[in-house]
């Protein structure tokens, strides 16, 4: 089955990083963590939520890769960034990542994102699932590979 253009770009990024995972596009939505669990059949904690924030003053993108059930403590992330943050809107998110909200992969973005934080809970799993460019596309990767692929800092996000 042919992948959509956005999913193809994520597959290319995986191959470029030497990861053998395959992007799959599903009939069911994977836009939310609960949608993804229903479509994939994994534990909600194995879902990688790619959340884009931006720093309030400098307007830099901040990527938080959070485990499915976890809520991000924005004050904690602000303390790590050294500046207040706000949730990025759809236009900023697409401009920075090249993807729409609900399909943002953890890497392969249009612009380099320097401020990346990985939820330490994701490293508890052998396999985790992430969005692959569309609200219907996902891929599986090793939890330990998430850090190497994104160069993110492992933290508690809660």
Residue 1 clears pLDDT 80, i.e. is over it: no
Q: Classify residue 59 as left (phi > 0), alpha (psi -120 to 50) or beta.
A: left
Residue 29 clears pLDDT 90, i.e. is over it: no
Query: Tens digit of pLDDT for each residue in 107-141?
Result: 999 999 999 999 999 999 999 999 999 999 999 99
- CATH classification of the domain holding 142: 3.90.960.10
> Which domain covers residue 100, as residue numbers?
5-155
Q: pLDDT confidence of 144, banded at 50, 70, 90? A: confident
Q: pLDDT confidence of 68, banded at 50, 70, 90? A: very high
CB atoms within 10 A of CB 24: 19
Q: pLDDT confidence of 28, banded at 50, 70, 90? A: confident
Residue 87 clears pLDDT 90, i.e. is over it: yes
> Distance (Å, rounded) from C-alpha 102 to C-alpha 59?
21
> Distance (Å, rounded) from C-alpha 112 to C-alpha 120?
22
Q: Pairing mode, if any, of strands 85-87 and 137-142?
A: unpaired
Q: What are phi and psi of 54, to 5 degrees?
A: -140, 150
pTM of the model: 0.95
Average pLDDT over residues 51-57: 97
Residue 33 clears pLDDT 90, i.e. is over it: no
Q: What are phi and psi of 13, to 5 degrees?
A: -65, -40
Average pLDDT over residues 15-20: 90
Least confident range from 27-41, 55-69, 90-104: namely 27-41
Q: What's the structural domain count of the chain? A: 1
Q: pLDDT confidence of 30, banded at 50, 70, 90? A: confident
């Amino acid at each position: 089955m042919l992948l959509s253009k956005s999913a193809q770009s994520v597959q290319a990024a995986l191959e470029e990083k030497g990861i053998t995972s395959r992007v799959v596009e599903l009939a069911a939505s994977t836009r939310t963590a609960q949608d993804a669990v229903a479509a994939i059949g994994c534990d909600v904690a194995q879902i990688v939520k790619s959340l884009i924030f931006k720093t309030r003053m400098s307007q830099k993108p901040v990527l938080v890769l959070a485990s499915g059930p976890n809520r991000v403590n924005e004050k904690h992330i602000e303390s790590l960034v050294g500046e207040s943050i706000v949730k990025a809107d759809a236009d900023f998110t697409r401009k920075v990542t090249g993807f729409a909200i609900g399909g943002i992969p953890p890497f392969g973005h249009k612009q380099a994102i320097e401020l990346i934080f990985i939820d330490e809970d994701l490293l508890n799993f052998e396999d985790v699932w992430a969005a692959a460019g569309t609200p219907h596309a996902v891929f599986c990767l090793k939890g330990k590979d998430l850090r190497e692929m994104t160069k993110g800092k492992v933290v508690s996000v809660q």
